[in-house]
A and B are shown apart, each in its own frame.
Chain A
């Protein structure tokens, strides 16, 4: 601590350079946090997927439908505890940019399978009674300022038939999993089905079923697919986590693009920062030589150099992460619908801070070792 004054005096030697270095460090760490958040957002579906749930889709693809009557046949397979189904609704609220996922659900069984979504019983009871009822996620309700009882118009053009649907907001759901999705909008399947063209009636998008035990997953999946093999609408059954991973994989290129561009920028900034620190040490090599001449040992000189780079790294890192804490919720709100929910977790902050410290050490250690090894006599000749 006796060297504190010396470290800070050296840091403030060139104030503009110090500010720019700390600034570039802060930007790098902000970027690091943002990339971490984006990465975790893309992979969160896989992480939170229920281990005891299977998803059944049409073998041809997710946009192909299946008969609602499959549910009764699937429930006969041993190991299936409950089954529900969903349809993609794909409407627009007021403006195209107000995107959020809307699903026509099976209200009778939805809560038995999707147990992480919490809706107060009285609200759910109202939804069951209300053909035009809907349930919105807490985030989406907050975003648009919806209150229970509000009338919500949603435009869509399913099968080339443009229409504005009116819904009554009967309830708001919360997700009991931290960071879990609260941006969905649910309507009654029956209400959707009534309006479907005759050849699309009684069709659903995909089934989600709950198992008695996750150990049955492979057996039940095989049994379901075998049951509908050689039918006009064959099925593909997989665990929910495999389904989520496959879904995320479709976004993989975007994720890869964001991560690779961000990583290049991040490491470039770190190289620039490290180089600035090295220059700062080289500029005062003669002063370090004087310190060594008057008795500062190799370790003291290394400590001084490392101390400076660590202070820059820590201040820059904390600034960048602080900025991320402020900006990511705002960015997340602005990007709702385009990206999954952005959550800056304590893990990302910790890894960011550790990275900052490591970069501080790495960028200080090379010039520090150089200062340690320098021959005082040679360095003094440069004065």
Chain B
């Protein structure tokens, strides 16, 4: 269950407290996020919407440990990440976060298999164990038979599915999706969203997603609207919670 503006401790998977992010441009301070509070439970699927510059991607970067807040704290599965060192944060990302980007960001010179295997190179798994994990992840996204294809030999939707397989292969605590359908046609976008929904419903994954597309946002359990760095509205989607994909 997602809660906003919650104060104090909770047992939520992700707890965001009084989060501020300020940039300096010239002599001017720009408040990208302001006093943001948020609790996300395991298995929640949350969409963030808002106009450009509202702080959606910044929030995602902070939640993923790619950026550090100016003030406030983020706690994930009991680990407060806001005060972690750079190297600890890197290790933490490898264990807890699966990233899905708008432009897929696959390595073009690696096959689908090798791209998905990347996060596992950082683990102590043996080669055969890594192969087993990669094959499983590619099966989940329906691309087991394309594992030896290079990104250029795949369609945009297939590339994004490989990126999803890469995001889930190490079984992270939660997935962060930055406009996952932003570069896809409607049909491919629907397929990707069905896949993400399936990860939530069947595999119990926690997903936080930034999108501009209201159709895509409606598939989440809850849409949070940001404006000028503030959470201004939250909209629940009961049909999405019931598992209906539009």
Chain A interface residues toward B at CB < 8 A:
2-3, 5-6, 9-10, 12-13, 286-287, 290-298, 300, 376-377, 380, 383
A-contacting residues, B84-122, CB 8 Å: 86-87, 90-91, 93-95, 99, 101, 103, 105, 107-110, 114, 118-119, 121-122
Number of chain B residues whose Cβ lies closer than 8 Å to a Cβ of chain A: 25
A-contacting residues, B49-99, CB 8 Å: 61, 64, 66-67, 86-87, 90-91, 93-95, 99
Chain B interface residues toward A at CB < 8 A:
61, 64, 66-67, 86-87, 90-91, 93-95, 99, 101, 103, 105, 107-110, 114, 118-119, 121-122, 166
The 6 closest A-B pairs by CB, nearest first: A295-B94, A9-B109, A290-B105, A297-B90, A2-B121, A376-B66
Residue on B nearest A290 in the bound complex, by CB: B105
How many A-B pairs have beta carbons closer than 8 Å: the answer is 64
If A12-B109, A290-B101, A294-B166 are given as contacts, then 12 extra A-B residue pairs at C-beta distance below 8 Å, sorted by A number, are A6-B110, A6-B114, A6-B121, A9-B109, A9-B110, A286-B105, A290-B99, A291-B118, A293-B64, A295-B94, A296-B122, A380-B105
A297 to B110, CA, bound (A): 20
Of A9, A294, A300, which one neighbours B114 at CB under 8 angstroms?
A9
Q: Could you list 19 examples of A-B contacts with CB < 8 Å?
A: A6-B107, A6-B114, A9-B109, A10-B109, A13-B108, A290-B101, A291-B118, A293-B64, A293-B99, A294-B93, A294-B119, A294-B166, A295-B119, A295-B122, A296-B90, A296-B118, A297-B90, A380-B66, A380-B105
Contacts of B121 in A (CB 8 A): 2-3, 6
Contacts of B91 in A (CB 8 A): 295, 297
A96 to B91, CA, bound (A): 74
Given that A294-B118, A295-B119, A376-B66 are contacting pairs, would A287 and B90 also be in contact in the complex, using a CB cutoff of 8 Å?
no
Contacts of B118 in A (CB 8 A): 6, 291, 294, 296
B101 near A383 with CB under 8 A, answer yes
Minimum distance in angstroms from A373 CB to a CB of chain B: 10
A294 near B109 with CB under 8 A, answer no
Of B64, B94, B107, which one neighbours A9 at CB under 8 angstroms?
B107
Residue on A nearest B117 in the bound complex, by CB: A5
Of A13, A286, A293, which one neighbours B66 at CB under 8 angstroms?
A293
Interface of A is mostly: helix
Contacts of B90 in A (CB 8 A): 292, 295-298
A383 near B66 with CB under 8 A, answer no
B101 near A380 with CB under 8 A, answer yes
Q: Which of A9, A290, A292, A300 has the most CB of B within 10 A?
A: A290
Contacts of B61 in A (CB 8 A): 377
Contacts of B64 in A (CB 8 A): 293
Contacts of B86 in A (CB 8 A): 298
Minimum distance in angstroms from B152 CB to a CB of chain A: 12
A286 to B107, CA, bound (A): 10
B107 near A300 with CB under 8 A, answer no
Residue on A nearest B88 in the bound complex, by CB: A297
Minimum distance in angstroms from B203 CB to a CB of chain A: 19
Residue on B nearest A286 in the bound complex, by CB: B105
Residue on A nearest B118 in the bound complex, by CB: A294
A297 near B99 with CB under 8 A, answer no
Contacts of A380 in B (CB 8 A): 66, 101, 105
Residue on A nearest B96 in the bound complex, by CB: A295
Minimum distance in angstroms from B93 CB to a CB of chain A: 5
Given that A9-B110, A291-B118, A383-B101 are contacting pairs, would A377 and B66 also be in contact in the complex, using a CB cutoff of 8 Å?
yes
A377 to B32, CA, bound (A): 14
Contacts of A294 in B (CB 8 A): 93-94, 99, 118-119, 166
A295 to B107, CA, bound (A): 15
B101 near A300 with CB under 8 A, answer no
A12 to B90, CA, bound (A): 28
Minimum distance in angstroms from A280 CB to a CB of chain B: 12
A2 to B120, CA, bound (A): 10
